[in-house]
Amino acid sequence: MRNRFPALLFLFLFFEFSALAQRGNFKIENIKLPAELRYFDNQFSCLNIHNRRLFLMAESRILEKQEAKLYSVALKDIDRYFTDSTYLLPYKKHLIFGFDILVNKMVQSGQVTEGLEAMVIKGKEIFLSVETTTASPYCFILKGRLKNNNVYLDTTVLLPVLKPVKPNGEAIYNASFECMELKGKRLLLFFEYNYFEGNNYVYSYSTNFDAATKDSVPIDRMPYRISDIKRVGAGHYTAINSFYKGGGKDTINRPSVADTISYALVNNGAVFHDYTRLVGIHFNGKRFEWKPLFVMPSIYEGFNWEGIAAYRKGYFLVNDKYTATKPYYSALMYLKSH
């Protein structure tokens, strides 16, 4: 009996956890994007709802000669699409001005940029996070204003944020501040990797970008990676938490075998498989804690979900470009609560 108990306990915990993770009851509705938005090289990395429009942010890798831009679709047009799937969604393109100047400043400081990763819009203000290469120790936060349907960045303001590293100083491969939200007049920055053996933190800064206002709030250790987050209530957030099975340096995201539940969710006993879920993140006054909400069906394994936006009692999700098979494309879906 003593030898069987750990295995039985593990199975009990696994099935209890699986039931908890699945308790969100959602119907998935795929939304066909117009060809320009479906184009894979937009590499959408964030969603945001503002003024009754759904904004999709392209990574805008200008060092790779890509255009700096957002797109937006009116929510009323998406609602119409839900009743008539033949309806071709109208959309707007919003250019981002000043990003090239700021990228040049980043490069001159020795940091190599990759693209835009997170976005927050409040009123006329917009905040953006910029991912850099693994070898670059800093990511950057930008701010600007929405004017005449475009984005105008303040080219005099550039907030460098030091990436957390392993205790031995080793950088986390391909990780940045992919999640960002506002809490009052403070900007919350969630690092993509929150699986350090020691403490994990959410950083925050005043929206005036004074580096002296930095604060670090603990977050409970979380496996895999988080790629976008949205506020859903006072102190409550929903985030995309996903695992990529890839090898090489991407194995940094593999959970420890000792973390039995997290390991079992992404390994069937022989091989790893991709896995994506939504998690609820709550600030309890002292730290951020989390719980699983919903697991994406296995047919969506291989999709790299990068953007989330809360709408009514559900969520919009968008991938960057990666899908289960080629040719790659950007896909938009709505998880409808029912």
Say how far apart CA 143 and CA 145 lie, in whole Å. Answer: 7
Largest CA distance in the chain: 72
C-alpha pair distances (Å), 227 with each of 191, 239, 308: 9, 7, 9
Distance CA 129, CA 124 (A): 17
Predicted pLDDT of residue 2? 36
**114-144 confidence digits (pLDDT tens):** 999 999 999 999 999 999 999 999 999 999 9
**Domain range 25-337, CATH architecture:** 5 Propeller (2.115)
Residue 20: its pLDDT value, please? 40
pLDDT on residue 25: 85
How high is the pLDDT of residue 21? 43
Backbone angles phi, psi at 284, to 5 degrees: -95, 10
Task: Give the Cα separation of 318 and 314 in Å (integer).
Answer: 14
182, 122 Cβ separation under 8 angstroms:
yes
What mean pLDDT is reported for the chain? 93
Lowest mean pLDDT segment, chosen from 11-20, 200-209, 291-300, 320-329: 11-20
Residue 229, pLDDT score: 98
Q: How far is CA 266 from CA 5, 215, 245, 271, 272, in A?
A: 23, 33, 8, 8, 6
Report, as an integer, the average pLDDT of 297-301: 95
Query: What are the sequence ranges of the domains in the chain?
Result: 25-337
pLDDT band at 22 (very low <50, low <70, confident <90, very high): very low
For the segment 14-36, the average pLDDT, to the nearest whole number, is: 71
Tens of pLDDT, residue by residue over 140-186, are 999 999 999 999 999 999 999 999 999 999 999 999 999 999 999 99
The mean pLDDT value for 260-269 works out to 96
Task: Calculate the CA 83 to chain-centre distance.
Answer: 29
pLDDT surpasses 50 at 10? no
Mean pLDDT over 81-105 rounds to 98
- The confidence score (pLDDT) of residue 24 equals 59
Which of 194, 243, 251 has its CA nearest to residue 222?
194
Q: What percent of the chain has pLDDT over 70?
A: 93
Q: How far apart are CA 70 and CA 121, in angstroms?
A: 12
Residue pLDDT, tens place only, 32-60 = 999 999 999 999 999 999 999 999 999 99
Contact 193, 210 (CB under 8 A): no
